[in-house]
C-alpha cells in the first residue's frame, strides 16, 4: 500500500465510520478501485485507522469519560453485551456471510428501513428523549440488540444502533450520540482482537503509511462527528436512506 492509498482509505474510514452508511462497504469499493489486496499488511492498516476513529470519539466526548458519568457507561456497557456475545459465539459463521452481494443487499435494505422509520415511526419532537444521559436501561438493551444486526456485512453499526435508538424514542441527535459512545467499547474490542492477530505486520517498513493513515482517519473522524451532529439539528436521516439504496445498487451493478 502506497502513501496515496493510505490517505484515501484513511479519509474514507474517518468519514464513514460514524455515519449510518457502513464503512466496510466503502472500504471494499475503494480497495477494489485502488487495486489493494486484502493482505495481512492491509488488515494491520485497518486496525490502525479504526483505532484512530476510537480516539476521535474520546476527544469529542472527553467530558463523558469520567467517573461522574458511570451511570451512562453502565448503559453503554449493557448495550455492548449482545453484539459482544453474538460476535464471539458465531464469529466463524459471520465471516462466511461476507460477500459483495450481501454487503450491497444490506445497504439497500438498511436504506429502505431508514426511509420507513422516518416516514412512520418518528414521534413528535416533544416526546423524544433529547439528552443521551437520560436513556434508560431498557432502551439501552433494545439498542444493543438492534446493534447485533451490524454483524451482517453492509448493515452499518452506526445505522443499526441509530435505528434502534429512534424506535425507542431518542431524538436524532441523542441517537447519534449514543451510537458514537457505543462505538467505543465495540471498536475497542474489535481493534484489540485484530491487533493480537496482526501485530507482526507493524514493522518499520509499514510505519510511515500506518502513521499517515492514523492521522488522516483521526482528523476526518473528529470533524465528521461534529458536522454530523450539526446536520441532524436541521435535517433527517432520509438523505442517508436514499444514499444507501443508490450505493447498494451501484455495488450490485459493478461487482455482481
pLDDT tens readout for residues 174-201: 999 999 999 999 888 877 877 777 666 6
All cell numbers assigned to 194: 485484530
- Count how many domains the chain has: 1
Closest among 157, 134, 144 to 83, alpha carbons compared: 144
pLDDT at 111 over 60: yes
Kindly tell me the burial class for residue 89, based on how many C-beta atoms sit within 10 Å of its own C-beta (0-12, 13-18, 19 or more).
exposed
Per the structure, the complete domain to which residue 62 belongs is given by 3-255
pLDDT of residue 122: 83
pLDDT tens readout for residues 20-77: 998 877 887 888 788 887 676 677 777 788 889 889 999 999 999 999 999 999 999 9
pLDDT at 204 over 80: no
pTM: 0.90
pLDDT at 209 over 90: no
Closest among 152, 1, 188, 169 to 76, alpha carbons compared: 188
Report DSSP state, residue 66. Answer: S
Between CA 172 and CA 181, with CA 178 as vertex, the angle to 5 degrees is 145
pLDDT of residue 203: 60
Amino acid at each position: 500500500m502506497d502513501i496515496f492509498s493510505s490517505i484515501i482509505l484513511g479519509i474514507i474510514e474517518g468519514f464513514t465510520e460514524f455515519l449510518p452508511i457502513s464503512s466496510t462497504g466503502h472500504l471494499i469499493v475503494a480497495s477494489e478501485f485502488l487495486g489493494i489486496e486484502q493482505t495481512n499488511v492491509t488488515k494491520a492498516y485497518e486496525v490502525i485507522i479504526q483505532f484512530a476513529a476510537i480516539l476521535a470519539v474520546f476527544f469529542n466526548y472527553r467530558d463523558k469519560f469520567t467517573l461522574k458519568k458511570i451511570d451512562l457507561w453502565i448503559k453503554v456497557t449493557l448495550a455492548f453485551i449482545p453484539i459482544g456475545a453474538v460476535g464471539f459465539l458465531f464469529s466463524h459463521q459471520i465471516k462466511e456471510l461476507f460477500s459483495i452481494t450481501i454487503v450491497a443487499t444490506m445497504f439497500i435494505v438498511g436504506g429502505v428501513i431508514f426511509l420507513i422509520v422516518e416516514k412512520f415511526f418518528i414521534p413528535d419532537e416533544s416526546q423524544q428523549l433529547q439528552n443521551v444521559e437520560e436513556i434508560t436501561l431498557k432502551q439501552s438493551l433494545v439498542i444493543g440488540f438492534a446493534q447485533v444486526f451490524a454483524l451482517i456485512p453492509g448493515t452499518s453499526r452506526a445505522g443499526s444502533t441509530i435505528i434502534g435508538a429512534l424506535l425507542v424514542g431518542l431524538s436524532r441527535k441523542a441517537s447519534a450520540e449514543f451510537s458514537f459512545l457505543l462505538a467505543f467499547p465495540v471498536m475497542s474490542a474489535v481493534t484489540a482482537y485484530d491487533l493480537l492477530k496482526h501485530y507482526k505486520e507493524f514493522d518499520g517498513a509499514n510505519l510511515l503509511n500506518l502513521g499517515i493513515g492514523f492521522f488522516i482517519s483521526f482528523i476526518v473522524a473528529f470533524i465528521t462527528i461534529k458536522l454530523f451532529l450539526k446536520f441532524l439539528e436541521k435535517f433527517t436521516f432520509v438523505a442517508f436512506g436514499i444514499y444507501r439504496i443508490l450505493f447498494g445498487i451501484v455495488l450490485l451493478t459493478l461487482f455482481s
